[in-house]
Chains A and B, each alone.
Chain A
Amino acid sequence: MRVSAPERTKVGHPLLVVAASWAVPGLGHLLLGRWRKGIVFLVALPLMFFFGLLLQGRLFPFDPSQPLVALGAVADISVGLIYFLAGPFGYGAGTVTAVTYEYGNTFLIVAGLLNLLVLLDAYDVALGRK
C-alpha cells in the first residue's frame, strides 16, 4: 500500500527508522523485519569501513572552510556511530604517505554513501513503498 506522507509504522515514526539506520547500518531494516537485508548491511558496511581504516584511510573532519574535506566528512559520517568510535581508538588519522591511503579513503567514503542508500531504502520500506 502506498502512502503519501510519513506515518507511524509498527516501530514508530519512519524518521526513527532512518535515525536507527544511520546510527547502525542495517538496523532500520532489522526493526522493519527485513532480517536478511538487515544482517547483510550490518556486516558488509562496517566491514567495508573497517577495511578503509586498515588501508590507512583518513576520517575527514567536518571543516566548512575546505569544501572537499567537508564533503568527505559528510560521506564518512553517513556510516553512522562507528565514525565517532574509530577516532578514540586511534583509527582514521590517515597516512598520506601510505600506498593504500587513497584506497582507504575510497572504502571509507563509499561505505558511508552506501549507508545513505540503505537509509533511504529503509525509509521507503517504513512508508510502505517497497
Chain B
Amino acid sequence: MASHLPLLVLFSFFVSLVFAMLMRDEPREQLKFGLLLFAGFIVAAIALGWLTYFFPL
C-alpha cells in the first residue's frame, strides 16, 4: 500500500471521523460534518496536487 491516493483517503477518513465525533453531538450532524470534512480533504488535496503540476521541479 504505497500509493498516495489510498493513503490520503485512509488518513482523511480517520481524521474526519474523530473530528466529527468531537465537534458534533447528534449522529446526523456528525455524519454531515464528517462527510463534509472528508470531501474537503480529498478535493483540497486533488486541487493542490493539480496546482503543483504547473510548477517545474
Which residues from chain A sit less than 8 Å from chain B, CB to CB?
Answer: 36-37, 40-41, 44-45, 47-48, 51, 54-55, 99-100, 103, 106-107, 110-111, 114, 117-118, 121, 130
A121 to B21 CA separation, bound complex (whole angstroms) = 10
* Contact status A55-B1, CB under 8 Å: yes
Interface size on B, as a range, is 10 to 19
Give B3-57 interface residues, CB cut-off 8 Å to A.
7, 10-11, 14-15, 17-18, 21-22, 25, 27
> A-side binding surface: helix, strand, loop or mixed?
helix
Query: 11 pairs across A/B with beta carbons < 8 Å?
Result: A36-B21, A37-B21, A40-B18, A44-B17, A48-B14, A100-B1, A106-B11, A107-B14, A114-B15, A117-B22, A118-B22
